[in-house]
Structure 1
Amino acid sequence: MARRSHGLDAAIKAARRTGKLNVSGHDLDCLPDQVWSLEAPGDERWWEGHDLEILDASNNEIGELPDSFGGVTMASLRSLNLSRNAIEQLTEAISDLAALESLDVSCNRLAALPQFLPANLKLLDVSHNRLTRLPDVLPPPLLVLKATHNSLSEIGESSLQSCPLLKTLWLTNNSLDALPLSVGYLTDLTEFRCTSNRLQSLPKEVAQLRHLSSISLSNNMLHGSVSVPEAAVDLNLQFNHLKHLDFCLIATKLVSLDVSNNSIVEVPSSIGRLGCLKVLNLKCNDLNDLPNELGWMSSLSSIFVSGNPLRRIRSAIWSKGTDTLKEYLRKRSSQEEAPEGTTSLIEEHREAFKPEDDRKRVVATASQVDLSKQGFEVIPDSLFSSPMSSIVVLDISRNRVRSLLPLSGLTSLRALHADFNEVSQVEGVPLSIVELSLNNNFIEVLDDCVVQFVNLRSLSLNNNKLCQLPLVLAGLPTLTALSMVGNPIRMGKRRKPSSDASAERHHPRSPYYSSPPDFERLAELYEEFRPFVRPTGSGYVTIDWNDPQALLAVTRVLLRHDFGLQFSLPEHHLCPPVPQRLNYICWIEELLSFLQLPSGEEIWGIDIGTGASAIFPLLGQSKGWKFLATEIDPESVESARKNISDNRLEGRIEVVQSPSARDVLVGVIPERTKYHFTVCNPPFFDDLQQTGLNAKRVCRATPSELVCPGGEVEFVAQIVRESVVLRDRISWFTTMIGKKSSLIELQRLIRDVNPVCVRTTTFTQDVVNAIRSEPVRICTNAVGV
């Protein structure tokens, strides 16, 4: 029986008049019976009734839908939102919803979808489930398909072939090692996201998609030439295995190209053909030099090159920014004119001004320019010829300007007055800005790019359409003057990302990277979490981070809400922070991508010292991995086994008790068994006094979880020594390290065992070290030894 909450009756009553039923966040475990019969009671006027067209039952605890779901009552249903529930299976009857155009079942526990979906469906979101495949036939009218964060290992040829009208396709965070050739049927596709998979190449058919403009393929295993369509505008290929960029040159409309964290050794001089390119990210590659042609590309406003062994360009040059770098490349060029295939700023604007435009001509050397009251609707490019890049103060007030994007090239600009225009976005304002006045415009929300205005001191946003206090302003360290008079700001309850979200540096593969934990929302959904949430003096929501019970409550609610896991912990045991531990798991996934494992191979890991929580195996099994977890403390072994049993994971996780503290792996793991990786959160300290914890904090962990002879250095040293014996049975040896000084002390020992590869990363305060026991290419974004 559904648990009725306040306001449910009112929502159902309103649905009879509007056809829109919103029961989101009502703590329901099933849909109320009234949904199947919205006829008005006897005391209401039946002729004012409206067929149900929109049903939002998201953010509840609904476990299943009745077999009778649909029927006459839902014959007119156009939109159905069942996201963030606990649904494990969709009834086949859902295909009877003939009028349904939008279906959102994201963040559930679906392992499969019905063979047939509603025939007129245009939007389908099945993200954050447990799907291993998509139906063989998808609805032909489908325009948007989102299937991120599942376990898809392949996409059937017929699946995409059946929906040729598709415009948006999201397949991020799956296990795809290839795309079907039928992707070529998606001739209307405009946006494709397939990050964090195992793709090694793309079908050549992708290059034929003439409308595909936005492509994101980061965190894959792409190498060689990648099929890129000519229409590409935004191309993200970071964290792959690419060595050259020639394949990109066909996309002459590119505005943004991100190939950071690859193995690129050269940028071709023909890159000058990309006349629209504004942003080029080359961070963390193997570049020794850059072509002079980059200096002559007039549209290019941002070049990122840190993390490269640039031997021919001093860091004192490229570290000063794009303008300085481009100027250096131009001066270095032995040619007097721009190279063939590129356009210089001076040539581009040589004929821009006509005699009749003399009234608008501005002295090119002037540092202060007044273009107010000119009647502009679009800022003319011709006003910003190369000498004009030295403008310091610009006034474009009292025009009809809608976009500030043309101003992005004025890198010397310090003050901008753009009052009384039609501006709705701040995007385009140069990052060098110190004083910004945008009074009397149409700004409703401040763009996130504002946080990059690190020199901004004065901001005036009077008489706009801001409804909320822009929280992005909190990240501006130099802002001293702010005016927002005349905005319809509602001074209600404000939200702030949880301390977890703001303190953790989330891995790009982590779901928290794009959606950090929201304590306020979690408190609304889970009654047991509410007592630990409290407002701050600024109206934000937080918890007491010194309360062990509050920490346990956070861990429980995150594991339940985001992973569908039950969790318990004995008193006085270490309570792990979920986002940080998930960072470690995501990093392991990154390491595994370099093993080039056969498709479908079962992944096995070892958790050294799993503790009472068994947090790493609990999180890792969501990736489809299996674990052997070791632990020396009997009470922790019992607790870890309980967490595994409560979640019915006995077939995926085994906990064994270590016979002694002397041997970490040798003598503990079964003979002749091979594993892909180890994870470990070692005891950090040599004795309890080193912890520096007061009595109140010590209660969060037992001595065995914090202390061992020799501390983390000796514990990790033992792993390093045993890696020599087990190098043929374990591919990656990894462990967390609490102090960077410990890593320095361990580096000599690591070198002595002659590893093929060592990689190091940082999660908040913890350094994580990985030793590779077999040959593997060393990525330039990692520390390689």
Structure 2
Amino acid sequence: MSRFKRGAGLDSRAGFRQQKEECPVPNGLLKGARQSGQLNLSGRGLTEVPQSVWRLNIDPPEEAQQNVSFSASDRWWEQTDLTKLLLSSNKLETLSEDVKLLPALVVLDIHDNQLRTLPATIGELEQLQKLNLSHNKMTDLPLELWNLTNLRCLHLQQNLLEQLPSELGQLCQLEDLDLSNNKLIIVPDGLANLNNLVKLNLSFNSLKSLPSAISEMKNLRMLDCSRNQLESVPPVLAQMASLEQLYLRHNKLRFLPELPSCKTLKELHCGNNQIEVLEAAHLKHLSALSVLELRDNKVKSLPEEITLLQGLQRLDLTNNDLSSIPCGLGNLPKLTSLTLEGNPLRTIRRELLTKGTSELLKYLRSRIQEEPDGNLKDEPKTAMTLPSQSRINVHAIKTLKTLEYSQKQEAAIPDDVFDAVSDGAVVNVNFSKNQLTEVPPRFKAFPDVLYRILSLETILMSNNQVGAIDPLRLKLLDKLSTLDLQNNDIMQVPPELGNCTSLRALMLDGNPFRNPRAAIVAKGTDSLLEYLRSRIPT
């Protein structure tokens, strides 16, 4: 009984814990690795790799020293050489030189650790085909690494590399190279020797240019140069006949690259640049293009040649300076995504943009019949060029400031009638002897008379064509609490509007202005007015 009392305070699992601390890699894993040739030690909190792992194919297993008889499946001397070792998501700060004791390795994954460099003996793994060193803290790499001429996949993303040697070009079998999220300023000309490279990721670096040698990679299909400092791309890029995906997002490009030989290019991503001009030469050779992404640029117009991209499936033109687009886009047979938000479009109202691509394309097709040239362009705003000019007294508009459109038996006043007076001040309007059921709700300007009615509390002018307002005169309407200007043509919201503090409901949705952004408008009147006040020049 005393024997039990003495043992009552002992932890019955203490012996197992002690064994685990001595050998963080269970013998069962090592035994399985001898049979399969694969060992997964990911996510075990290792600060170093146990010696038993490096000597896996050299030392006999522990059970062999205990004179245990072996079945046919447990004959350790018939073991398989280790070909795959996974050490990711641990706490390794160094890698032992004993890695050379596993010369049959084909895959070595050490990503997501704390490594700052590699041992020179890494170059002795002559059979290595895949090496993943991403998400570490490496600032340089041993020259011996470039002796691994059988490498097909090398991942070095998310490190602290500032430069790479020209010896990189010795990896002539490489097919996948990821150098993203480093501190590279230049890439070596040795890239030209990577003739088998299919995928190259250079994104999230500090590159200001690309070497001309990049065009020598004749098998390259995907090139990602996003998030750099590129102001242009070398013309020789156009010679990359196998290129299928090109990412140039978030750079400083002013022009789209001309790619006459890239007839296999399927995706071109150039969003978040400073591109202003899009010419026919940039598009006419891209017959295989299915994705064209140009969001957040300064593109002012689209060439008619864009309608020749019959394979186009996605076209992103969000946040540019487009006032019109070719109607022929409506006939592209495969186009399933067309985004135009954030453009000062004159003929497409915001509510149509929110209805989705199918409705937008349907609208564009309807305009093709109206406008044979296929462009959604603003008509010249002069009565001399209007198709209905024979019905409008131009002389009366100019000299008498009178718009005469009476005795027409019309149920609605045509748009071109209002367009005829867009450049002149009209005092008198005569719409008598028609069949109108309501007053034509098309104001081109904010009625001057409203500014003079100081007792106004509500102004509702949605769904017109008002292009501007005078915030200084509006501020005098100190009883104005509701101002509805939704779905008009306001290109700029004056910051001084924020001083109209009597407003409790300010509605500006559906106008083509770019600032304030829709997210700010959606926050409500108080937040909108506060934002506008913050933008008033001091």
Indicate the TM-score class for this superposition, using the shorter chain for normalisation: 0.5 to 0.7
Cα drift, residue 743 of structure 1 = 7.8
Q: 1:157 aligns with which of 189, 205, 211?
A: 189
Q: Contact between 2:307 and 2:326, CA under 8 Å: does it hold in 1? A: no
Distance 1:749 1:61, change over 3 A: closer
Distance 1:99 1:253, change over 3 A: same
% identity of equivalent residues: 32
Q: 1:12 aligns with which of 18, 26, 30?
A: 30
Q: Contact between 2:178 and 2:202, CA under 8 Å: does it hold in 1? A: yes
Which residue matches 1:96? Answer: 124
Q: 1:130 aligns with which of 160, 166, 178?
A: 160
Q: Distance in 2 between matches of 1:22 and 1:316?
A: 55
Q: Distance in 1 between matches of 2:211 and 2:247?
A: 17
The TM-score normalised by the length of structure 1 is 0.43
Between 85-94 and 240-249, the greater mean CA deviation after superposition: 240-249
| Corresponding letter in the other structure for 1:55 | L
| Corresponding letter in the other structure for 1:309 | P
Cα drift, residue 746 of structure 1 = 6.5
Which residue matches 1:241? Answer: 274
Which residue matches 1:276? Answer: 311
Structure 1 residue 230 corresponds to structure 2 residue 258: no
Cα drift, residue 204 of structure 1 = 1.3
Which residue matches 2:412? Answer: none
Q: How far does the alpha carbon of each residue in 1:699-726 deviate from its partner, in whole angstroms, 9 at most, with x for none?
A: xxxxxxxxxxxxxxxxxxxxxxxxxxxx
Q: Distance in 2 between matches of 1:276 and 1:260?
A: 20
Q: How far does the alpha carbon of each residue in 1:207-236 deviate from its partner, in whole angstroms, 9 at most, with x for none?
A: 111111112221111112314322210111
Which residue matches 1:176? Answer: 207
Q: 1:114 aligns with which of 138, 142, 162?
A: 142
Q: 1:143 aligns with which of 170, 175, 185?
A: 175
Cα drift, residue 50 of structure 1 = 0.8
Structure 1 residue 36 corresponds to structure 2 residue 74: no
Which residue matches 1:466? Answer: none
Structure 1 residue 299 corresponds to structure 2 residue 334: yes
Q: Distance in 2 between matches of 1:290 and 1:4?
A: 71
Distance 1:161 1:323, change over 3 A: same
Q: How far does the alpha carbon of each residue in 1:568-615 deviate from its partner, in whole angstroms, 9 at most, with x for none?
A: xxxxxxxxxxxxxxxxxxxxxxxxxxxxxxxxxxxxxxxxxxxxxxxx
Q: Contact between 1:166 and 1:186, CA under 8 Å: does it hold in 2? A: yes
Q: Contact between 1:8 and 1:26, CA under 8 Å: does it hold in 2? A: no
5 Å matches for 1:466-615?
none
| Corresponding letter in the other structure for 2:125 | L
| Unaligned stretches of 5+ residues in structure 2 | 1-19, 376-522
Q: Distance in 2 between matches of 1:36 and 1:7?
A: 12
Cα drift, residue 4 of structure 1 = 5.8
Structure 1 residue 185 corresponds to structure 2 residue 216: yes
Q: Contact between 2:198 and 2:220, CA under 8 Å: does it hold in 1? A: yes
Which residue matches 1:517? Answer: none
Q: Contact between 1:202 and 1:227, CA under 8 Å: does it hold in 2? A: no
Q: 2:86 aligns with which of 48, 56, 62?
A: 56
| Corresponding letter in the other structure for 1:100 | L
- Max Rg structure: 2
Q: Distance in 2 between matches of 1:244 and 1:186?
A: 29
1:215 partner SS: strand
Q: How far does the alpha carbon of each residue in 1:87-110 deviate from its partner, in whole angstroms, 9 at most, with x for none?
A: 111112111110000000111110
Q: Distance in 2 between matches of 1:279 and 1:59?
A: 38
Aligned residues: 351
Cα drift, residue 337 of structure 1 = 8.5
Q: Distance in 2 between matches of 1:747 and 1:231?
A: 48
Cα drift, residue 330 of structure 1 = 2.1
Which residue matches 2:442? Answer: none
Cα drift, residue 284 of structure 1 = 0.5
Q: Contact between 1:113 and 1:135, CA under 8 Å: does it hold in 2? A: no
Between 166-175 and 216-225, the greater mean CA deviation after superposition: 216-225
Q: Distance in 1 between matches of 2:93 and 2:371?
A: 71
Q: Contact between 1:92 and 1:116, CA under 8 Å: does it hold in 2? A: yes
| Corresponding letter in the other structure for 1:17 | Q
Q: How far does the alpha carbon of each residue in 1:319-359 deviate from its partner, in whole angstroms, 9 at most, with x for none?
A: 3222222222222225798979xxxxxxxxxxxxxxxxxxx
Which residue matches 2:537? Answer: 752
| Unaligned stretches of 5+ residues in structure 1 | 341-738, 754-785
Q: Contact between 1:187 and 1:211, CA under 8 Å: does it hold in 2? A: yes
Q: How far does the alpha carbon of each residue in 1:237-262 deviate from its partner, in whole angstroms, 9 at most, with x for none?
A: 11111113331332111111111111
Q: Distance in 2 between matches of 1:48 and 1:744?
A: 79
Q: Contact between 1:3 and 1:27, CA under 8 Å: does it hold in 2? A: no
Q: Contact between 1:56 and 1:82, CA under 8 Å: does it hold in 2? A: yes
Which residue matches 1:260? Answer: 295
Structure 1 residue 202 corresponds to structure 2 residue 233: yes
Which residue matches 2:251? Answer: 220
CA RMSD of aligned residues (A): 2.4
Q: Distance in 1 between matches of 2:314 and 2:141?
A: 40
Which residue matches 1:320? Answer: 355
Q: Distance in 2 between matches of 1:6 and 1:223?
A: 56
Q: How far does the alpha carbon of each residue in 1:540-559 deviate from its partner, in whole angstroms, 9 at most, with x for none?
A: xxxxxxxxxxxxxxxxxxxx
Q: How far does the alpha carbon of each residue in 1:368-427 deviate from its partner, in whole angstroms, 9 at most, with x for none?
A: xxxxxxxxxxxxxxxxxxxxxxxxxxxxxxxxxxxxxxxxxxxxxxxxxxxxxxxxxxxx
Q: Distance in 2 between matches of 1:85 and 1:256?
A: 37
The TM-score normalised by the length of structure 2 is 0.62
| Corresponding letter in the other structure for 1:132 | E
Distance 1:240 1:106, change over 3 A: same
Q: Distance in 2 between matches of 1:337 and 1:290?
A: 14
Which residue matches 2:114? Answer: 86
Cα drift, residue 750 of structure 1 = 4.7
Q: Distance in 1 between matches of 2:362 and 2:22?
A: 68
Distance 1:289 1:92, change over 3 A: same
Q: How far does the alpha carbon of each residue in 1:166-209 deviate from its partner, in whole angstroms, 9 at most, with x for none?
A: 00011111111111111111110011112111111111121111
Q: Distance in 1 between matches of 2:531 and 2:333?
A: 49
1:751 partner SS: coil
